[in-house]
Amino acid sequence: MNDPPGSDEDFMAQALAEAARGLGRTSPNPPVGCVLVQPNGSGGEVVGRGFHPRAGEPHAEVFALREAGERARGATAYVTLEPCSHFGRTPPCADALMAAGVARVVVAAGDPNPQVNGRGLERLRAAGIAVQTGVLEAQAVRQQAGFRARMLLGRPFVIYKYAMTLDGKVAALEEGGGSEANGAVTGPEARARVMGWRNEADAIAVGVDTLLTDDPQLTTRGVVGGRDPRPVIFDRQGRTPPTARALRPGAVVVTAPGAEAPALADAGAVLLPAATLEEALRGLHDLGVSTLLLEGGPTLASAFAESDLIDEVRAFIAPKLLGAGLSPLAGPLRRMNAAGMLDMYALEQLGADILVSASVRRVAAEPTPSPRTGGA
């Protein structure tokens, strides 16, 4: 994954790294990064960088242009998402790039927002700016998955994270006391990675059984500058104890319609009644959640799988054989040739453990990638 220095891919990778600084902070907006490069003998010199820090603040392009100043003239702008063409809370970024005299714009992925959706690129081309798209598009689409699910599906993007033994078990049978009493599945490197994901997710979901067993904090620990995702507890009957550690202000408790849980409301929880998981996800969408990290347990994850609501899996596999135990999914019931297909996009070794990252292959979850267009 090391792109040659000075290549379009190299600069776009830098723009993606900029964008990543906003992950978990920009919803309902997408995370976006921008790098401005003045061509020189050895490929180019970065003259400005920026990322979108949160909704209501300026877009990535604006920060990069501010840093570049006069040196934006004649530069190439690498932007992870098609520059906007409409007046939202800020003026259109396409116009700002044009006004600054940028000569070329390289874009990773098109903006599925119906208010943009190609119009930003058209506007740039009409102004005589060379436009190229599709550079590191797959990475950008994954980074923007929450925003894209918001635009295209009207619900959060759901990532199921689990850690299992090599014989496919996430926990022993009938263990009380949670992972601290009974031993974690994976090692410290895996745990650190999970903390990074929590820092980047809008919200983190667990079932009430996990809450009652483990009383997890669901916080981000050990990440410099990290912040906590919003806890979401799926708890049809309102059994969550008001003293649960995850019940910090803003925590959401998803209950069955009509379930009474005044003590939870008093404890600062947002009660979200929902008859189905789809309805719950629409409610989370309305609360501004674009990415949902589903951490368990298997009962909740199986319900998501039954409703085909898992978009990505991140599976740690520990070099252990447990024997009897709980599986990461207990449903739906289907035949092997009807199993849900995944596209693995990363296979890593983290300490002694393996991490498999894979997207759920689903028709119409994403628009077909925009064709590579234009170019200098």
Query: Can you give the binding site for a copy of itself, defined by CB under 8 A?
Result: 164-169, 171-173, 175, 179, 182-185, 302, 305-306, 310, 313, 315, 317, 319-325, 327-344, 347, 349, 352, 354, 356, 358, 360
Angle in degrees, CA 124, 103, 40, rounded to 5:
155
DSSP label of 338: G
State the nearest-atom distance from the C-beta of 203 to a copy of itself, in Å: 22
Residue that is written with structure tokens 């259109």 in the block: 92
Q: Is 287 annotated as a binding residue?
A: no
Nearer to a copy of itself, 1 or 324 (CB): 324
Residue that is written with structure tokens 């379930």 in the block: 259
Give the separation between CA 71 and CA 75, rounded to whole angstroms.
Answer: 7
Q: Is 150 annotated as a binding residue?
A: no
DSSP state letters, 23-82? TTTSTTSPP-EEEEEE--TTS-EEEEEEE--STTSPPHHHHHHHHHGGGGTTPEEEEEE-
State the nearest-atom distance from the C-beta of 284 to a copy of itself, in Å: 22
Residues 98, 101, 105, 109, CA torsion sign: negative
Nearer to a copy of itself, 324 or 363 (CB): 324
Nearer to a copy of itself, 117 or 179 (CB): 179
State the nearest-atom distance from the C-beta of 137 to a copy of itself, in Å: 21
State the nearest-atom distance from the C-beta of 122 to a copy of itself, in Å: 38
For the purposes of burial, counting CB atoms within 10 Å of the CB of 104, is it exposed (0-12), middle (13-18) or buried (19 or more)? buried
Nearer to a copy of itself, 260 or 343 (CB): 343
Coil/strand/helix, residue 152: helix
Q: Is 292 annotated as a binding residue?
A: no
Q: Which entry of 9, 18, 61, 82 is annotated as an active-site residue? A: 61
Q: Is 61 a catalytic residue?
A: yes
Q: Is 93 annotated as a binding residue?
A: yes
Label residues 137-163 b or e (16+ Cβ within 10 Å = b).
Answer: bebbbbbbbbbbbbbebebbbbbbbbb
Cis peptide bond upstream of 297, omega within 30: yes
Nearer to a copy of itself, 69 or 188 (CB): 188
Q: Is 303 annotated as a binding residue?
A: yes
Q: Is 69 annotated as a binding residue?
A: no
Residue numbers in the known binding site are: 59, 84, 93, 163, 198, 210, 214, 218, 221, 295, 297-303
Binding residues for Zn(2+): 59, 84, 93
- Which positions are catalytic? 61
Please state the residue numbers annotated as binding site for NADP(+).
163, 210, 214, 221, 297-303
